[in-house]
Structure 1
Amino acid sequence: MSLQVQNANNVKIYTVSGSKGSRSIPDWLARRNKKALKNDLEWRHRIELIQDFEFPEASLKIKTTNDGNFAVATGVYKPQMRVFEFAEMSMKFDRHTDAENVDFQLLSDDWTKSVLLQADRSVEFHSQGGIHYRTRIPKFGRSLTYHYPSCDLLITASSNEVYRLNLEQGRFLNPLVTDGEMANGGGINCGEINPAHLLYGCGTDSGTVEFWDLRVRGRVGILAPTIPDSVASIAGDSLKISSLKFRNDGLTMAVGTSTGHVLMYDLRSNIPLYVKDHQYGYPIKSLHFHEGTQGEDGKSKVISTDCKIIKIWNREDGKNFTSIEPSNDINDVCPVGDSGLMFVANEGIQMQSYYIPSLGPAPKWCSFLDNLTEELEENPVQSIYDDYKFVSRKELANLGLDHLIGSAVLKPYMHGFFIDLRLYEKARAIANPFGYQDFKEREARDRVAKEAGSRIRATTKLPKVNKQLAAKMLSNEAKARKKAVKEGQEPSAAGSALKDERFADLFTNPDFEVDEDTTEFKLLNPVQSTKKPSYRIVGDDEMEDAGSESGSEPSDVDSDEDLVRISNYKKPEKKSGKNKDAITSIRSGVKDRKRIPKMEVLKQRMNQSHAASGPSRSQASRSFSDRLAREQQTENNISRSTSGGMEMTFSLNKKKGQSRQQPASGGKRTSTGDRRERRSAGRNTIRNL
């Protein structure tokens, strides 16, 4: 099951019943040729708040009883009246009449006593058993109103008189004669009694509203509503009063005109409080004041209706609340008390029921609507056209079915044709035999992509512009966080520059991309800080060759032929204590080489060759002032001759604060032999210089 839901002005409106009547059925698909009900998805997914809430052709009027237990409606064809019981949520009975109904009134609190104004100038009185009495009026009637204190039935017709039929005496009394002009078949369109002080008002074809006091049977006032000049110039003298409604407070009155305007009045003034325009230009058919829960904004509502739209707006300021536009023309609207449920009589077969939770709660007899509407919101269900496929003439030619044009197989519609879905699938399979295989491959790719997208990925998506800069920034941020955690501090809460809107163009605009191959970049960055490269593990022979080359030709160390970078190599852990001493030792090279990774020995020898050949990378990256200050602090004096010779004078004083290195295990001091070996290694280094 599913419910159609509208969301006009952010107000949810649920179509509880009547959605089937709003569906357009192709004339070439007759009802008798429909599938069995078990195969009709729409029938299986239908929702009927009240069973058989429909008429064979159209519904004309609908009202609820004063006790709130029944609904009475009239419709065609054949002309009939139907009574629906809310407790059973079904139709109680139907009763046929001889003519179409124009209006009716319920004389009792339930359905047992009613009076019907028919289109053949007859007035029928119905009791529980059937028609009780029938009489006729001189002119064609337009509306009925019942005055309870005097038992007068007031009938407006196509004349300037309001007929009075006294039900206590059983006879007609003197009519109320209005000032309405009778030119062009004018008359009185509507009548209404104020529920507070029983003032009777009637709207005429001459565009006036007359007020009568039925106690003295005299007119107490005439109101001539005014509409905007732009509309009045178009309407001319054809402005008519089509509907009228009083509020329970006795002072507020709403007037509907034939031009589609609603005027709100205070009876103490002849100037309207405001004017509402339906924008369609059709006569206003009904007006209702709805108190309910006074909505979410705490204001009572007004429900105005023409044949196209139902508008709900605030009574105080006229601000629009929501609107409903059924697919069929509207004949009458009946709110169910002050609840959020509303019945609509229309030109379709089914009478429509709308539920607006924000307007009021559901009635007591269908309180389940509050929970049902949220669970059964509209879902796509199969419709009549789901069994057919719309194709254009070009698609027919591609499928090889253009020879069927003009036959009963193709149903012309707009710029194409409707074809049976099964025939279309067979023709497409013949025209494209590999279509199913392509479909399976596409589905498999989509499934794999969906599963891959659900995996947890630790990588960060880099921008398309300045990828290296972004990767460097992310690496620095990760190191800073790791360092803060290691030192027991809280990581910085500052946001990343990648997410900062101020630097958005740096990673999105190609004009800001950094070109590292330009001369300007190399001048500003003479030594780039990159990740330390990883190298493959070489054999003993290769390591010996590399060591000999590093001692004789330092310039060849950086050759790519001797070093091979690898991406997935884990950096070896730093050695401490005795291993460090063994690395710096020359005499114990064979003994210590077994305990040190060969790759690390190769890198250290290369570093020694770099130190011998020129300044280190860290020194080269320093500014000139820093290097000058560093040379002034050292005690070494270097002098060069014009012939290329160099002389260096230095002292071997130990630096202050330097402690002797201790082995990693045991914490014991090194032996005398180890210290002697280190001193010998130092002398050998000096001799080489």
Structure 2
Amino acid sequence: MSFPKVYTVNGPSSTSSTSLPSWVAIKTKSKGGPNKKKRTKTQHSTTDLELIQDFTFPGSSIKIKTTEDGQHAIATGTYKPMIKVWDLENLTVKFERVTDAENVDFVILSTDWTKTLHLQRDRSLALHTQGGLHHSVRLPVYGRSLAYHSPSADAIIGCTGTDVYRFNLEEGRYMSPITIAKGWEDGRESEVEGVNVVDVNSRHGLWSFGLDGGGGVVEFWDPRSRNALTRLCLPSSTLLPAQNFDISSLAPVQKLSITALSSHPTDGLSFAVGTSTGHTLLYDLRSPTPFAVKDQGYGEAIKRVDWLRGGGSQEDAGRVISADSKVIKVWDKADPSNNHLSLHPPASLVDLHAVPQSGVLMVACDSPQLSSYYIPEIGPAPKWASFLDSVTEEMAEDYSGLGKSAYQDFKFVDRAELDTLGLTHLIGTPTLKPYMHGYFLSLKLYTTARLIANPQSYAEYRDKMVNEKLRAKTESRIRARKDQPKVNKALAERIRRTEERERLKKSKRTKGEDENDEEDEEAESEAEAEDGEQGGLLADPRFKEIFENPEFEVDEESREFALLNPATANNNAKRKTAVEDEEEESDRSSSGLEDEDESDEDEEDDSEGSDSDDGDLGQYDPRKLKSTDPKRVLPTIRSHPRLVVGESSKTSGPSKQSTFGQRLKNSSNDHNGNNNNNNGFENDKSILAMRKSADGGMEMSFIPSSKSTKSGKANDDDDEQDEYNGGTRRKDRKIEKFGNGLEKGGEESDNDDDLQDRSGRTKRRHPGRSASKNAFRKR
């Protein structure tokens, strides 16, 4: 069952569900960024709200009431004995007036604060007006209760003894007193010691007197009659506990008295009675049997009982409020066991007043500070404090999460567990905070003491810490999504990543570029939440079949896919989704074996960049792939791509390494037929072409040579063509020595690897390698 929210708007916080001990400090997150210091809240800083200014007395308060027009509140207190009036419109004290004696009870004679009648402890009846004390009258005996009957202008004073005095304010004199407990045939009239409480029904003017003693009797009088109409005897045998009866005489040891009375303000038939044993009984004036009985549970006398008039939708919801010195309870008259509210005041309660047509309760306690509570479920905020709704919303935000975070650094232990831990010597020290049937202990101290008292628990603690660290590591790994589709997993993963990037860009664009890490995390969480709400392309029902029906599966090894995706087709054979990588890695780690082929490939990639296939232009040809499906027929490949420009057959034309001069010589031979150069240079292979110009000169294309034979021709055995510019390169190049036994040049090695290293590149250079291709060897 959930209880309504109670907000303390005046005075110290009560022991309700929202209060916390004074030694608890609540840490709250700062709103100014990560560099700001964390603030701490205590009970004093989170619960103090002063609705009415100077809502206090020097000593303690006695009675409190509000005027009929709802504009002022009047209370009496001690010490010094005084009367205080507060202006509720301005939420401040209007004036205070010191009296000659302490106040017992008072009534408000007008609709505002200007006329009040006070019953004093010095047996006086004082009439106060706007100007001050107007008149004072002495009483024959000490008074206990005061009421006012407006049709006859009689002040009814319940006193010690069996007489009830009447003072007529219109005539200014005492009227004939009323004698109660007269004519009883059971002989209990001698047990009556006085009249504790007097009530006047506002509907039909019926007087009721709650007697002190006599077994719990309420007498009813009509002001037009000189005798009692009837009396109501409470069932003392059920209200008094069994141990309070004397077995020999069957007489109750504890007497039953009436301490509170209240008539229903509207129907005139319902009647509430409070007893000295802590019970509240509800009667219908037409029946002597109570239709509801409520026990406060503490055995304290009922100080106040009233019918709640909350106003608005709670105008008359059948709720009753009863209070003793320890607790205030709000309950339903149809079901007394159903408590709507249980409220404990900070000090011993003396009087309670429920402000009509609102949800505000004013409590007079045995302390200087008067308390006020606002309960929205009982009724709305009064007109003079309409801002309470917005204020309480802010208080509710401050209270949210306090119960969870307040005690996170403490551990509750009882006395038996304290003995087991060996910490009984700390009782009475600030280390242990007494609470209910145990103590609050620092969580760090509790963990240390538990490990010392039970050494075997260290192994459990160690296993727990190890499991937590392992769990933290596994959480950082890529996890398979529960919504992973059955078909086209790679396509779904690419779509999901693209949508996440778009959402992050959009969120950063709206919030600005200058954001800290915490705001980035919030943006990511908001993006994930938005993704969960909208779903994106993957949740679109129009494309549902693509990720569920195997007939729509995309074959990334097909030629059509390679033609449509030339940039990604080169790595399709090796591409795996993150889920497949994780599954393969988990299978490998569980078996304890590593794939030797993969490890060898990784080592080769790290050691020798030349063996990698990353730069091979002819690495992947989709037309060379063999279909895994035996039913699939690949198209016939007629020819391979070849270089047309600058290439010819070996017999007819120059090779792909032919120079411009060689191609020119061949072209001249082709155009002129046989070669007519008979100048003796036809056997010189260094001369590529010769022709006569139009002006009679001669043009020649030849290859220069640094070493010539006797005939002046280059030696083909000693020279070889340069792979870059068609020149020659000397085999007997001078050997250069440098470093520690290193040399460069000399004869070329017969080793094929060396020849391969010295030859030109056949692959694209790896971007991570050096551009140098010089060969070094050690002597």
* Superposition TM-score, scaled by structure 1 size: 0.56
Which residue, 277, 291, 307 being the options, matches 1:289?
307
SS of the residue aligned with 2:58?
Answer: coil
The answer for unaligned runs of 5 or more in structure 2 is: 24-41, 183-187, 245-251, 400-409, 411-425, 433-467, 494-537, 550-580, 586-592, 606-615, 642-779
Match of 1:489 in 2: 545
Residue identity matched to 2:7: Y
* Corresponding position: 1:278 with 2:292: no
Q: CA deviation at 1:68?
A: 1.0
SS of the residue aligned with 2:231?
Answer: strand
Change (3 A) 1:358 1:566: farther
Residue identity matched to 1:71: A
Q: CA deviation at 1:243?
A: 0.6
Change (3 A) 1:413 1:178: same
Given that residues 64 and 362 in structure 2 are in contact (C-alpha distance below 8 angstroms), is that contact kept between their aligned partners in structure 1? yes
Given that residues 73 and 83 in structure 1 are in contact (C-alpha distance below 8 angstroms), is that contact kept between their aligned partners in structure 2? yes
- In 2, the alpha carbon distance for the partners of 1:568 and 1:357 equals 74
Match of 1:497 in 2: none
Which residue, 325, 329, 332 being the options, matches 1:314?
332
Match of 1:225 in 2: 234
- In 1, the alpha carbon distance for the partners of 2:603 and 2:81 equals 89
Q: CA deviation at 1:296?
A: 7.0
Which residue, 198, 206, 212 being the options, matches 2:205?
198
Match of 1:240 in 2: 257
* Corresponding position: 1:215 with 2:224: yes
Q: CA deviation at 1:281?
A: 0.5
- In 2, the alpha carbon distance for the partners of 1:153 and 1:234 equals 41
Change (3 A) 1:564 1:89: closer
- In 2, the alpha carbon distance for the partners of 1:458 and 1:306 equals 62
- In 1, the alpha carbon distance for the partners of 2:100 and 2:88 equals 27
Match of 1:74 in 2: 76
Q: CA deviation at 1:300?
A: 2.8
Q: CA deviation at 1:9?
A: 4.1
Change (3 A) 1:55 1:492: farther
Within-5 A mapping of 1:543-622: 564=599, 595-596=618-619
- In 2, the alpha carbon distance for the partners of 1:492 and 1:274 equals 66
- In 2, the alpha carbon distance for the partners of 1:664 and 1:277 equals 104
- In 2, the alpha carbon distance for the partners of 1:140 and 1:351 equals 27
Deviations along 1:443-493, whole A, 9 cap, x unmatched? xxxxxx9xxx9xx9882179xxxxxxx9xx979687499599999616459
Within-5 A mapping of 1:43-82: 46-82=48-84
Given that residues 262 and 271 in structure 2 are in contact (C-alpha distance below 8 angstroms), is that contact kept between their aligned partners in structure 1? yes
SS of the residue aligned with 1:280?
Answer: coil
Match of 1:17 in 2: 10
- In 1, the alpha carbon distance for the partners of 2:638 and 2:311 equals 83
Match of 1:366 in 2: 385
Q: CA deviation at 1:335?
A: 1.2
Given that residues 100 and 119 in structure 1 are in contact (C-alpha distance below 8 angstroms), is that contact kept between their aligned partners in structure 2? yes
- In 2, the alpha carbon distance for the partners of 1:323 and 1:218 equals 41
Deviations along 1:12-58, whole A, 9 cap, x unmatched? 000001017999999xxxxxxxxxxxxx9959995321111110111
Residue identity matched to 1:68: G
Which residue, 635, 655, 662 being the options, matches 1:661?
635
Within-5 A mapping of 1:76-225: 76-179=78-181, 183=190, 186-205=193-212, 206=214, 207-225=216-234
SS of the residue aligned with 1:229?
Answer: helix
- In 2, the alpha carbon distance for the partners of 1:567 and 1:475 equals 31
- In 2, the alpha carbon distance for the partners of 1:559 and 1:251 equals 91
Given that residues 236 and 256 in structure 2 are in contact (C-alpha distance below 8 angstroms), is that contact kept between their aligned partners in structure 1? no
Deviations along 1:577-632, whole A, 9 cap, x unmatched? xxxxxxxxxxxxxxxx972369x99x99xx9xxxxxxxx9x9xxxxxxxxxxxxxx
- In 2, the alpha carbon distance for the partners of 1:190 and 1:226 equals 19
Q: CA deviation at 1:350?
A: 1.0
Larger radius of gyration: 2
Given that residues 163 and 172 in structure 1 are in contact (C-alpha distance below 8 angstroms), is that contact kept between their aligned partners in structure 2? yes
* Corresponding position: 1:265 with 2:283: yes
Given that residues 190 and 202 in structure 1 are in contact (C-alpha distance below 8 angstroms), is that contact kept between their aligned partners in structure 2? yes
- In 2, the alpha carbon distance for the partners of 1:283 and 1:51 equals 31
Residue identity matched to 1:489: E
Residue identity matched to 2:256: L
Residue identity matched to 1:221: T
Deviations along 1:264-303, whole A, 9 cap, x unmatched? 1011100000100000101111111113247679823111
Change (3 A) 1:477 1:492: closer
- In 2, the alpha carbon distance for the partners of 1:110 and 1:530 equals 81
Given that residues 14 and 345 in structure 2 are in contact (C-alpha distance below 8 angstroms), is that contact kept between their aligned partners in structure 1? no
Match of 1:324 in 2: 343
Given that residues 340 and 360 in structure 1 are in contact (C-alpha distance below 8 angstroms), is that contact kept between their aligned partners in structure 2? yes
Deviations along 1:524-545, whole A, 9 cap, x unmatched? xxxxx99889xxxxxxxxxxxx
Deviations along 1:71-105, whole A, 9 cap, x unmatched? 10000001110011112211111111111111001
Q: CA deviation at 1:215?
A: 1.7
- In 2, the alpha carbon distance for the partners of 1:306 and 1:153 equals 27
Change (3 A) 1:665 1:210: farther
User: Greater relative contact order: 1 or 2 (C-alpha under 8 angstroms, separation 6 or more)?
Assistant: 1
Given that residues 67 and 73 in structure 2 are in contact (C-alpha distance below 8 angstroms), is that contact kept between their aligned partners in structure 1? yes
Given that residues 20 and 350 in structure 1 are in contact (C-alpha distance below 8 angstroms), is that contact kept between their aligned partners in structure 2? no
Structure whose residues are more often helix by fraction: 1
Given that residues 211 and 219 in structure 1 are in contact (C-alpha distance below 8 angstroms), is that contact kept between their aligned partners in structure 2? yes
Within-5 A mapping of 1:509-528: none
* Corresponding position: 1:337 with 2:356: yes
- In 1, the alpha carbon distance for the partners of 2:322 and 2:172 equals 36
Given that residues 299 and 316 in structure 1 are in contact (C-alpha distance below 8 angstroms), is that contact kept between their aligned partners in structure 2? no
Residue identity matched to 1:13: V
Residue identity matched to 2:240: V
The answer for unaligned runs of 5 or more in structure 1 is: 1-7, 27-39, 381-389, 391-411, 419-448, 463-469, 494-528, 534-557, 571-592, 608-615, 619-654, 668-689
- In 2, the alpha carbon distance for the partners of 1:162 and 1:559 equals 104
Given that residues 292 and 300 in structure 1 are in contact (C-alpha distance below 8 angstroms), is that contact kept between their aligned partners in structure 2? no
- In 1, the alpha carbon distance for the partners of 2:270 and 2:638 equals 99
Q: CA deviation at 1:415?
A: 2.4
Change (3 A) 1:661 1:359: same
- In 2, the alpha carbon distance for the partners of 1:486 and 1:47 equals 58
Percent identity, please: 38
- In 2, the alpha carbon distance for the partners of 1:486 and 1:460 equals 27
Deviations along 1:126-175, whole A, 9 cap, x unmatched? 11111111112222111101111111110001111111111112111111
Matched residue count: 444
SS of the residue aligned with 1:316?
Answer: coil
- In 2, the alpha carbon distance for the partners of 1:111 and 1:274 equals 36
Given that residues 295 and 359 in structure 1 are in contact (C-alpha distance below 8 angstroms), is that contact kept between their aligned partners in structure 2? no
- In 1, the alpha carbon distance for the partners of 2:268 and 2:602 equals 89
Given that residues 312 and 380 in structure 2 are in contact (C-alpha distance below 8 angstroms), is that contact kept between their aligned partners in structure 1? no
